[in-house]
Amino acid sequence: MTVAVLENEYLYAEFLPEYGGRLWKLFDKKKQKDVVYTNDVIRFRNLSIRNAWFSGGVEWNCGVIGHSPFTCSQMYCAFVTGKNGEDVLRFYEFERVRGIYYQIDFWLEQNKLLTAVRIENPNTQVVPMYWWSNMATPEYKKGRVVVSASSAYNNSDGMGIKKSQIPFDNEIDVSYPENIPNTIDYFYDIPADEEKFIANVDQDGFGLLQFSTSNLKGRKLFSWGHRKGSHHWQNMLTDRAGDYVEIQAGLGKTQYECIPMPPKCVWTFSECYTLADIPREMVSGSYNELVNAVKDQISSLGGCQGLDRRLASISKEINSQKGKVILKGSGFGYLNGLLGAKIPQQLAFYDNSDVAEWIRLRSGDETACPKTFAYGERMEQLLLSQFHSTNWNVTYQLALIAYDRRDFKLAQNHCFRSLLLECNAYNNHLYAHILYQLGDPECVYFAKKSLRHNRESYCLAESIFSLLIKADACADLIQEYESLYDPLKKIPRLMMYLSYAYLKCGDAEKAEKILYYEGGLNLLDAREGDRFLDNLYRGIRKELYGEDPAEVVVPEQFDYIVADFFAEKKPE
């Protein structure tokens, strides 16, 4: 694993270029304190938008709502010398969903790690923009999260988004994360004229302090809570590093919306990460006095207004400087340039294997078969220019674009043409999903046909099984499972789908036997908030033992539910 390091006499900062440029470790050398939560393992779990996420450090999320598409991908990494001699570490990429370029520059100033983020929208249309810096910090015993707000948006009672008072919500002081019962997001409503910061401190007053320029106006606390499912998730994500919470900073007030970014526009903002060092006696005292103590420390470090005043010079002296590329990211920024886009002068993009077939297609090679997917107007125009070729992949990719736009009739036409040119697992899979969206029961036929072209792909089998369940074709699922490549048959998620199919076909005993295979299915790719396994267990108990599903207590090994305000009966 490649690690990039910034270090001075005060701080040691460690970054992971191959994992989205994540700040993995920040250590205060003078106080001998960790500033962020550094996990003792990297365990990939299904919590982001690409089924590829791990906990720990600070994650940089740009573009679409949720986690970054680059969370587990290598970004471009460059070393830059600022105009004043700063040693700067830069990560950057072309984010093709939004069609924007973004860079994150890092440097040290005594006991502060500073960041300068630059996002450029080169397009002629407004794009929805999203940015959140997600900071993992330990869940300290008797520790507190501190922010200058008296209210927050949340869903603490399960009745939808509401506004609650801070620090007390439902008579619980939620500035102490260990008090929080359910998994929850608190989006703090910070007044416009207040400084933008957040801190998580232990009972001795040490921890992480983050503050920023005023345009990074959102702050959030995420807690897993303290249910069985909460502990299950924490245990899945770490080994012995202990429980964590996340404090976060974003462009919006919440993560339920994006901010409209005008065309031909550049946004910049700056953050500071440092060790919180608050008098011990303040931590357990008045919340307002604790907020003021944090403000005093921020003032001693130059303050949020100091960052605001420096932002223009940071943009000129650091953001706009070219660097020496150390590691290369994806080839899509390079391809975008080939297709006519203007690339920011300070960023260099290179050809890569992920775009090699696209470059061949651009040159007119009808045998080119890109394995990566098209996104954006320029790539769509490239495909349309090859529409009359005999390449099945061209109309397959056009069908995917139409499907993404929910134009299912156009997607059907494109995909049917692809099938006529070459019938394979990919276009049969897509055609099955298109027909399902159109309400056509023939989707089951094409789903099964897709599997017959490739019985060794887990991704294909998982998607087809999920479709068969939605199409109420559980008997077909059981039949197709038997003909899968043998190693796939032992994958817990596929076995879970099989168990469900048997339950729906009236064989609850067989369903239970599968669920408890080798002591019980260990669903490593469980999805946060997904109730499928929970409902499966309750359904089996109802059919076999006559139990009321609402009264069933789900064993911890199957319990991934982290907030349940109504149904579950708590064990005595």
Model pLDDT for residues 491-508, shown as the tens digit of each residue: 999 999 999 999 999 999
β pairing state of 22-28 and 33-34: antiparallel
Residues 6+ apart with CB under 8 A from 60: 20, 21, 22, 68, 91, 104, 117, 133
Average the pLDDT over 219-233 and give the result: 95
* pLDDT higher than threshold 80 for residue 424: yes
* pLDDT higher than threshold 70 for residue 572: no
pLDDT of residue 51: 87
pLDDT of residue 214: 98
> Model confidence over 361-384: pLDDT tens digits?
999 998 999 999 999 999 999 999
Question: Cβ distance 92 to 117 under 8 Å?
Answer: no
Average pLDDT over the chain, rounded to an integer: 95
Q: Cα-Cα-Cα-Cα dihedral of 302, 304, 306, 307, to 10°?
A: 110
pLDDT of residue 390: 94
Is this model's pTM higher than 0.85 or not? yes
pLDDT of residue 49: 84
Question: Cβ distance 293 to 278 under 8 Å?
Answer: yes
Confidence of residue 290 (pLDDT cuts 50, 70, 90): very high
Confidence of residue 571 (pLDDT cuts 50, 70, 90): very low
Q: What is the number of helices (H) and of strands (E) in the chain?
A: 16, 24
Distance, in Å, from the CA atom of 100 to the CA atom of 70, rounded to the nearest integer, reads: 14
Domain boundaries, the chain: 4-327, 491-572
CA-based diameter of the chain, in Å?
75
Distance, in Å, from the CA atom of 123 to the CA atom of 102, rounded to the nearest integer, reads: 14
Percent of the chain clearing pLDDT 70 (strictly above)? 98
Distance, in Å, from the CA atom of 340 to the CA atom of 335, rounded to the nearest integer, reads: 9
Average the pLDDT over 295-302 and give the result: 98
pLDDT of residue 160: 81
pLDDT of residue 87: 95
pLDDT of residue 566: 42
**Identity of the amino acid at 450:** S
Q: Which structure tokens are listed for 75?
A: 């970004």
> Model confidence over 388-418: pLDDT tens digits?
999 999 999 999 999 999 999 999 999 999 9
pLDDT of residue 159: 73
* pLDDT higher than threshold 50 for residue 569: no
pLDDT of residue 52: 87
> Model confidence over 144-179: pLDDT tens digits?
999 999 999 998 776 788 999 999 998 999 999 999
Q: Cα-Cα-Cα-Cα dihedral of 284, 287, 293, 298, to 10°?
A: 120
pLDDT of residue 564: 64
CATH topology of domain 4-327: Beta-galactosidase; Chain A, domain 5 (2.70.98)
Tell me if residue 15 falls in helix, strand or coil.
Answer: strand
* pLDDT higher than threshold 50 for residue 194: yes
User: Three-state secondary structure along 304-363?
Assistant: HHHHHHHHHHHHHHHHCCCCEEEECCCCHHHHHHHCCCCCCCCCCCCCCHHHHHHHHHHC
Q: Which structure tokens are listed for 239?
A: 């080994």
DSSP per-residue string spanning 93-134: EEETTTTEEEEEEEEEETTEEEEEEEEEE-SSS-EEE-EEEE
Average the pLDDT over 564-572 and give the result: 42
H or E stretch covering 423: none
pLDDT of residue 404: 97
Percent of the chain clearing pLDDT 90 (strictly above)? 93
Distance, in Å, from the CA atom of 1 to the CA atom of 271, rounded to the nearest integer, reads: 27
Q: How far is CA 246 from CA 64, 84, 196, 279, 408, in A?
A: 19, 34, 16, 23, 39
Average the pLDDT over 434-460 and give the result: 98
pLDDT of residue 567: 44
* pLDDT higher than threshold 70 for residue 41: yes
Q: Which structure tokens are listed for 357?
A: 């077939």
Distance, in Å, from the CA atom of 25 to the CA atom of 19, rounded to the nearest integer, reads: 13
pLDDT of residue 341: 95
> Model confidence over 246-271: pLDDT tens digits?
999 999 999 999 999 999 999 999 99
> Model confidence over 323-372: pLDDT tens digits?
999 999 999 999 999 999 999 999 999 999 999 999 999 999 989 999 99
